[in-house]
Chains A and B, each alone.
Chain A
Amino acid sequence: MTVIGEPISVIAAFGGYPTKMRPVRFRWSGRVFEIEDITYHWVSKEGTRVLYHFSVTVGATLYEIVFDSQRLLWSLEKIET
């Protein structure tokens, strides 16, 4: 996967299962991406920071996006085209 590490804007829905938070679409480099599927999710910690990771697909492309719950920031971490 290609490492990106850039901030993105995300619209997310809260509530539901198995993830309590579901990213729905994100904006990156001026383009809007509609998330079709959340294929996996996991949580990691960096000190007291809790990071919510989502593997999501848009078309044939796989993205890993991350929500930093302490800084309230979303980022696009990786892409696999």
Chain B
Amino acid sequence: MKLRSKLFSAILSAMLIATLLLPSAAEAKKLKVITTLTDLASLTQEVGGDKVDVEALAKGYQDPHFVEPKPSFLLKLRNADLLVLVGLELEIGWLPPLITQSGNGKIQPGGQGYLDASQFAEILEIPGGNVTRAEGDVHPLGNPHYWLDPNNGRRIAKGIAAKLSALDPGDQAYFQQREQDFEKRLADADKKWMAEMAPYRNRKVVTYHRSWPNFAKHFGLDVIGYIEPRPGIPPTPSHTIELVNQMKREGVKIELIEPYFDLKTPNSIASMVNGKVVVMMPSVGGKPEITDYFKLFDYDIALLTKAFEETK
């Protein structure tokens, strides 16, 4: 009898403590956000704080044009309240059938939980007039690598904050406050990045893929050519020779490339022009130490300034 009442009071007090410690059911409910790229996940995390559960489908070191779908992608999409994607047809090779197959009505295109981040960003290289495709495999809607400009990061974060507020109006003030805080920290960081890049303003570079126009515009780099003859087409001999001659003429030493492209041609170009190949990370998580959107620019700018220094 004594033992039983002791046990009973122990259970009761344990339950009491549990109810005190655990947040109420309404508070515990977090928005489940799935993003295609890690960069969007990082921005969502900045804004959403502990009111959201964020996960990216692609890994930071993967080519976002080609991602091998896995069964878990479907499960994640099925349970998502919000899907944030880059858009501009970047994910067209793998995402659309997965969205359909997920059977999640909220995240279907046009749905309340479908957020195309490109609508908030400044998009470059939008083909004007009639798209003849004579320029190669251009994305007809503009260049989708737009998140590599901190100003766009700010704009996207603002858009995500508005969307989160719409989905969870009770936490609107929280999201707005976090978004403003993020904007402030980003502005401070950007000042530092701009200062670091200032000595190299208007330096000419070539890039492998057309992935860096927004980055180049923001930090004042002049991209004079691409190692790919057309986007998505591997380098051809005549194009490579032409590019080497142009680089020699204009004294260009730096080549920017993503980690998932073949380094053979860039390396041979580097040896011909006595230059340097810089493997820049296009996304958060490309290296273990790049854990968020800030560290992405920290990493790339450190690499780039070092390379500029070495090829003076």
Chain B associates with chain A: no
Could you tell me which B residues sit within 8 Å of A by CB distance?
Answer: none
